[in-house]
């Protein structure tokens, strides 16, 4: 069923319009704030727009739920396949929802965290534009749109990583990130050109209709390899991940949370979308499985003895991407559902972990785990949220991490790849080693010479809210599972509807 509705009509989906409007007007608001001296105006504007974004995602979701299996198509100035279009289905809204949720929480968190910094106008503009980019990627219906918003997301994130430019760390990390990520974009562009050469179109639906099920020829395999590199750099699959351990720690607190929590997952989502649309599972199964195992293992090993808290969490993000790749490699709706659920859960858990780490760095200025021994006792609420997030990342029952990991591993077994499940379980155990090490260090008796107070109430409140969500989704996962299930079905069983929505116009 295809309908153009008020929410998605007028050539831009509503969430995207909201974010672009917010990001576009923020420089003016910043100017206003400078002139009138209302210093908090920028923050409040950003918070308001990210809240509006959350609401519009919800409205979009309601509209989609009204008739199941519905796909909304809206295009920019023209009609597909000649023009770019957005194809809004449950999967896209799911991803955009994750972006909106974590984005809102991070922006609220930055209210206090970034208050000492300068150039805040640029900061909030970039954050909103980054969120707009990610939402655009999630809702994109063809490669053109995808690439535009991919670059929007990318460029904003380059600048945000290097935001604290008066220190050498962010600059070095930012430069490396830029070079590697732009290389990835170049490969992405290359793969787009190959697709264009092979099928004459860049529209996802048309692409799927023409290329799917075709016998894999060398060109197609070249395409797959280039795609994997193109998306893999951004989603931090080993061995394309080397920028991440530098970039995520050096970024400011809430940006790290956004980066780890949702930007790399957007890369994974794009990979998911394109490969599922273009190839049948038999083509990419083994490759993804191998990449999954390599990613998980290498990242976990690298995280084991890290002393820098944020670097440890960054490596942990890479390994979590590995888990999501397990779900991708199964090729079934169930596995995909596990991946999608893990995307949501990871954004909450890793986001919370980084925000809690942000609390600690905000109060103490340090990131070294050994030196921060006992900080948990001085900052109990932060420690509580950090513990819940770390336990969730390790997959302890009663947290949502357990639910998604369970689904991922059982889907691996169900798809006939038990080795993946075994590797996953072993890696979970391994990851608990360094999570518990962090927790143990922080809860021990303080022996350092530092004093720390609990962070400002708003930051702590955001942390506790996320911790509550983690526990809630762990004990009552039914709504999230249902949502992720609907989303995953769009790619596996609902593919026909997806194609029909555009081709049948």
Partner 1 sequence: MNALIPYLVSVFLLLLIGLGCLMMKRDMIRMLIGLEILFNAANLNFVALSLSRAGFVDPLGQSIVMMAIVLDGCVIAVGLAMVLNAYKHYGTLDVRKLRRLRW
Partner 2 sequence: MGLEVISTYPGPWLAWMIPMAGALLMPLLAKAGDRVRDLAAVLFAFAAVLSTFSMIPWLISGEYPGDIKLLTWIAFPDKPPLEVGLLVDPLSIIIANVVSFIAFLIVVYSVGYMHGDPCLTRYWFFFLFFIGSMLLLVLSDNFIMLLVGWEGVGMCSWGLIGFYYRDEKENWLGGPPPTPMYPPSHCGMKAFVVTGFGDVLLLAAIFIIYHYAGTFNFLELIEAAPHWLSAIAATPGLLSLTALLLLGGPIGKSAQFPLHEWLPEAMAGPTPVSALIHAATMVKAGVYLVARLSPIFYIGYWVHGIAEAITFFTAIAVIGAFTAFLAASQAMVALELKKALAYSTISQIGYMMLALGVAGLGEGALLPGLTSGVFHLLSHALFKAALFLCAGCAIHAVESIYMFDMGGLRRWMPITHILMLIAALSLSGVPPLSGFWSKDAVFLSCLYAGSPLAYALLIVAAITAAMTFFYSLRFISLTFYGEPSHHVEELEREHHIHEAGPIMWVPIAILDALVIVIGLLGLIGLVAPSLSPEHIIEGKLHLMLHEMEIPLPSHVAAPSPIGTISLSAAMLLLGGVAGYLFYLARRIDPKEFVESSPILRGIYSFLWNRWYINPLYYAIFVDGLLAFKDAIFKFFESAVVDRGLNEGVPAVFTGLYHRVKRLQTGVLSYNMLYIALAYIALLLTLLYLMGGV
Binding site for partner 1 (CB under 8 A): 82, 144, 147-148, 151, 154-155, 158-159, 162, 165, 167-169, 171-176, 178-179, 182-183, 185-187, 189-190, 192-194, 196-197, 200-202, 245-246, 250
**Taking a C-beta distance cutoff of 8 angstroms, is the pair 308, 249 a contact?**
yes
The residue count for binding partner 2 (CB under 8 A) is: 39
Six-digit token pair at 388?
């819940």
* Contact flag: residue 213 with partner 2 (CB under 8 A): no
**Taking a C-beta distance cutoff of 8 angstroms, is the pair 151, 42 a contact?**
no
Q: Give the shortest CB-263-to-partner 2 separation in angstroms.
A: 18
Six-digit token pair at 249?
């720690």
Nearer to partner 1, 182 or 413 (CB): 182
What 8-state DSSP symbol labels residue 455?
P
Separation between Cα atoms, residue 291 and residue 268, nearest integer Å? 13
| Span interacting with partner 2, options 103-111, 234-242, 420-428, 496-504, rule CB under 8 A | 234-242
Separation between Cα atoms, residue 147 and residue 126, nearest integer Å? 18
| Span interacting with partner 2, options 202-210, 215-223, 265-273, 337-345, rule CB under 8 A | 215-223
Among 216, 281, 414, 446, binds partner 2 (CB under 8 A): 216
Q: Give the shortest CB-338-to-partner 1 separation in angstroms.
A: 32
Q: Give the shortest CB-241-to-partner 2 separation in angstroms.
A: 9
* Contact flag: residue 233 with partner 2 (CB under 8 A): yes
Q: Report in angstroms the alpha-carbon separations of 496 from 1, 40, 142, 501.
A: 11, 49, 16, 8
Residues 6+ apart with CB under 8 A from 462: 105, 108, 109, 355
144 makes contact, choosing from partner 1, partner 2, none, with CB < 5 to 8 Å by partner type, with partner 1
**Taking a C-beta distance cutoff of 8 angstroms, is the pair 289, 331 a contact?**
no
Question: What is the chain's Cα-based Rg?
Answer: 21
* Contact flag: residue 409 with partner 2 (CB under 8 A): no
304 makes contact, choosing from partner 1, partner 2, none, with CB < 5 to 8 Å by partner type, with partner 2
**Taking a C-beta distance cutoff of 8 angstroms, is the pair 129, 152 a contact?**
yes
Nearer to partner 2, 179 or 468 (CB): 179
Separation between Cα atoms, residue 233 and residue 230, nearest integer Å? 6
Among 2, 148, 176, 492, binds partner 2 (CB under 8 A): 176
Separation between Cα atoms, residue 442 and residue 460, nearest integer Å? 17
Residue 354: strand, helix, or coil: helix
* Contact flag: residue 69 with partner 2 (CB under 8 A): no
* Contact flag: residue 224 with partner 2 (CB under 8 A): yes
Q: Which helix (H) or strand (E) holds 88?
A: strand 85-88
Residue 412: strand, helix, or coil: helix
Q: Give the shortest CB-271-to-partner 1 separation in angstroms.
A: 18
192 makes contact, choosing from partner 1, partner 2, none, with CB < 5 to 8 Å by partner type, with partner 1
Separation between Cα atoms, residue 355 and residue 339, nearest integer Å? 23
Contacting residues toward partner 2, per CB under 8 A = 175-176, 179-180, 183-184, 187, 216-218, 221-222, 224-226, 228-229, 233, 239-240, 242-243, 245-246, 283, 286-287, 290, 298, 301-302, 304-305, 430, 433, 476-478, 481
């Amino acid at each position: 069923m295809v309908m153009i509705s008020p929410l998605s009509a007028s050539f831009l989906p509503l969430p995207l319009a909201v974010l672009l409007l917010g990001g576009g007007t923020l420089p003016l608001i910043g100017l206003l704030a400078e002139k009138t001296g209302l210093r908090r105006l920028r923050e409040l504007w950003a918070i308001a727009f990210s809240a509006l974004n959350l609401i519009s995602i919800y409205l979009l979701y309601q509209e989609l739920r009204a008739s199941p299996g519905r796909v909304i198509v809206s295009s920019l100035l023209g009609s597909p396949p000649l023009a770019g279009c957005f194809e809004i289905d449950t999967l896209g809204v799911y991803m955009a929802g994750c972006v909106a949720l974590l984005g809102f929480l991070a922006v609220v968190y930055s209210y206090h965290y970034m208050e000492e910094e300068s150039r805040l106008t640029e900061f909030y503009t970039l954050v909103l534009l980054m969120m707009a980019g990610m939402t655009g990627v999630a809702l994109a219906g063809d490669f053109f749109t995808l690439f535009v918003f991919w670059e929007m997301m990318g460029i904003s994130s380059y600048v945000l990583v290097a935001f604290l430019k008066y220190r050498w760390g962010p600059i070095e990390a930012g430069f490396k990130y830029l070079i590697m990520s732009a290389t990835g974009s170049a490969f992405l562009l290359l793969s787009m050109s190959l697709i264009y050469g092979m099928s004459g179109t860049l529209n996802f639906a048309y692409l799927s209709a023409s290329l799917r099920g075709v016998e894999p020829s060398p060109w197609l395999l070249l395409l797959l390899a280039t795609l994997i590199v193109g998306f893999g750099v951004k989603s931090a699959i080993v061995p394309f991940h080397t920028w991440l351990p530098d970039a995520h720690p050096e970024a400011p607190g809430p940006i790290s949370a956004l980066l780890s929590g949702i930007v790399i997952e957007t890369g994974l989502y794009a990979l998911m979308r394109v490969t599922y649309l273009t190839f049948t599972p038999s083509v990419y199964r083994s490759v993804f499985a191998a990449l999954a195992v390599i990613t998980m293992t290498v990242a976990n090993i690298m995280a084991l003895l890290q002393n820098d808290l944020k670097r440890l969490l960054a490596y942990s993000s890479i390994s979590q991407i590995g888990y999501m790749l397990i779900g991708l490699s199964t090729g079934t709706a169930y596995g995909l559902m596990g991946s999608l659920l893990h995307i949501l859960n990871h954004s909450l858990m890793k986001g919370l972990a980084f925000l809690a780490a942000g609390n600690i760095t905000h109060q103490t200025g340090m990131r070294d785990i050994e030196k921060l021994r006992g900080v948990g006792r001085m900052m109990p609420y932060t420690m509580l949220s950090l513990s819940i997030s770390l336990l969730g990342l390790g997959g302890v029952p009663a947290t949502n991490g357990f639910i998604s990991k369970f689904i991922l591993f059982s889907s691996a077994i169900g798809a006939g790849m038990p080795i993946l499940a075994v590797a996953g379980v072993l890696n979970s155990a391994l990851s608990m080693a360094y999570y518990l090490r962090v927790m143990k260090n922080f809860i021990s008796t303080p022996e350092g010479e530092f004093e720390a107070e609990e962070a400002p109430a708003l930051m702590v409140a955001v942390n506790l809210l996320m911790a509550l969500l983690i526990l809630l989704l762990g004990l009552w996962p039914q709504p999230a599972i249902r949502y992720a299930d609907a989303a995953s079905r769009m790619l596996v069983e609902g593919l026909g509807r997806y194609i029909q929505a555009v081709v049948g116009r």
